[in-house]
Amino acid sequence: MTKNIKIFIIIIAVLTGWFFIRFVIGGPEDNWICRQGQWVKHGVPSAPMPSEPCGGEETINSGKTDLIKIDSPQLNQIIESPLFIKGEARGFWFFEASFPIKLFDGNGFLLGITTAQALEDWMTEKFVPFKAALPFAVPSTSEGKLILEKDNPSGLPEQADELVVPVYFKEVTEISPEFMTVKIFLSDSRFVNEPYFDCSRTIAVERRVFRTSAVARAAIEALLRGATEEEINQGFVSNINSGVRVQRLSVNPSTGGGTAEIDFDEQLEFQVGGSCRVAAIRAQVTETLKQLSTVDNVVISVNGRTEDILQP
């Protein structure tokens, strides 16, 4: 085989591989591609991301259609906070005209929890319409699941039931291939029954997050996703409401240590009461930010207010 023939074969192989990757695997250039129920960029598409969900004509009600039906969100829908939920369920799915709804990301973090409210008389076996609004924390993965639980005041496993709706998160569109480790600070409740228990007592646990130059924000968003089930079993909990969002975060360095100013939405103080819990919330936020060498002081605000927030 001559040298020219070898070169020709190599060129053909390279062009064949390029064609396969571009048109068979990657799809058309400069377009939006539906992958695993989520719209992702291929190249630099000139058109905006499609507004309709992708993923085919699957439904989420199979197997549960005689118990509960959900109109919104749909299967594999791309969602953002706050999420508005509506549908209908048999009256026995409710208790006292409500049932719980939870949202998890792909790492199992509870991003938000809310209560669905019946819009009509729930004391019936017929279908009753419901609605709910769910603010949720920044997810750590692009995929998640919404769980609509049958209210089960008896606590008996045989009385439990749920509808699981796979979803995707709008704000997680590009995943970094690199990770870094940050610390978050949870409340240490192991000694809560001891005399003179310090409500501001915290314990540091590690979180693996996508690498970013905005380390402070990444750490706080990890904190707002709360504790894992394993950590809760050990007595480490978060006193911060689920679904809290950061509205503004700035670190102003100065000689002898800087000040971090962080502004949350109103979910931070929603139905929060008691001096112990307030102290725990402040400690969790403060210690998580003070892990940065540039931060010595932390100023917390809610919708720009600092004076009258987190009152016991």
Q: What is the pLDDT of residue 193?
A: 80
Q: Are residues 137 and 183 in the same domain?
A: no
Q: What percent of the chain has pLDDT over 70?
A: 78
In tens, the pLDDT along 211-221 reads: 888 999 999 99
Cα 213 to chain centroid, rounded: 21
pTM over 0.85: no
In a domain, 196, yes or no: yes
Q: Are residues 101 and 196 in the same domain?
A: no
Q: What is the pLDDT of residue 52?
A: 59
In a domain, 11, yes or no: no
Handedness of CA 88, 162, 53, 242 (dihedral sign): positive
Q: Which of 117, 145, 169 is the last residue of a domain?
A: 169
Q: Which residues pair with 182 in a beta bridge?
A: 207
> What range does the domain containing 135 cover?
68-169
Q: What is the CATH number of the domain that holds 97?
A: 2.60.40.2550
DSSP 151: P
In tens, the pLDDT along 228-259 reads: 989 999 999 999 999 999 999 998 876 556 89
Q: Are residues 91 and 151 in the same domain?
A: yes
In tens, the pLDDT along 153-199 reads: 998 998 999 999 999 998 875 566 788 999 999 999 888 788 888 89
pLDDT at 11 over 80: no
Residue 16 three-state SS:
helix
Q: What is the pLDDT of residue 32?
A: 59
In a domain, 53, yes or no: no
Q: Assess contact for 265 and 302: CB atoms under 8 A.
A: yes
Q: Please, what's the b/e burial string for 40-73 (b: 16 or more CB within 10 A of its CB; e: otherwise)?
A: beeeebeeeeeeebbbeeeebbeebeeebbbeeb
Q: Judging by beta carbons within 10 Å of its beta carbon (0-12, 13-18, 19+), is residue 297 exposed, middle or buried?
A: middle
Instruction: Please count the structural domains in the chain.
Output: 2
In tens, the pLDDT along 22-68 reads: 444 444 445 655 554 556 665 566 677 766 555 544 455 557 889 99
Gap between the Cα atoms of 201 and 233, Å rounded: 17
Q: What is the pLDDT of residue 177?
A: 75
pLDDT at 1 over 60: no
